[in-house]
Amino acid sequence: MAEHRRPVPYPPGEALLAAYRLRGPVIDVGAGGHGYVLLLGAEANKFVFANAHPFSWWETFQNLAVADGPTALIVSDGEAHRRRRRLVQPALHHRQIEHYLQTMADSADAVIASWRPSQRLDIYQAMRSAIRHAIIASLFGSRLAADAQFFGQQL
């Protein structure tokens, strides 16, 4: 018999789900003089991805540039975005993603295993290297992933 797992409580996600149930898929919110429109649910996501041209990936996800770099797919727009997307699209098909889970876990475990008691760590840089290794291994294989540090320096 399959075990039923309860999701990990995530208050922001629970708040968004409650807002979606109360107001529907389009929610106008604002804070500190900044206004945002949230598009929630499967249909809204399909709409955004099918009609990406009026949206700016950079404006939406620029806070990720700190972790992913300014040339990452998630923060690029226009032709640069289309070119990068074409390169990785086959590897990001939903049937492929489950095969990457072990690679992601192994990459994080390898970084964590290198830590020693009382060692001062830059967690941001350490996990960024784990993420970079997992991405390269998943998209391009273990041979290129062995040089993940080199690729990180080039970015």
* pLDDT tens per residue across all 155 residues of the chain: 456 566 667 788 888 889 999 999 999 887 777 778 888 989 998 988 888 778 888 877 787 777 677 888 888 888 888 898 888 888 777 777 778 888 889 999 999 999 999 999 998 888 888 888 888 888 888 888 888 888 777 76
d(C-alpha 73, C-alpha 133), whole Å? 17
H or E element at residue 38: strand 34-39
Do 81 and 57 meet the contact criterion of CB atoms below 8 Å apart?
yes
| Interatomic CA distance for residues 13 and 82, integer angstroms | 30
Q: Per-domain residue ranges for the chain?
A: 1-51, 93-154
Judge whether 133 and 145 are in contact, CB under 8 Å.
yes
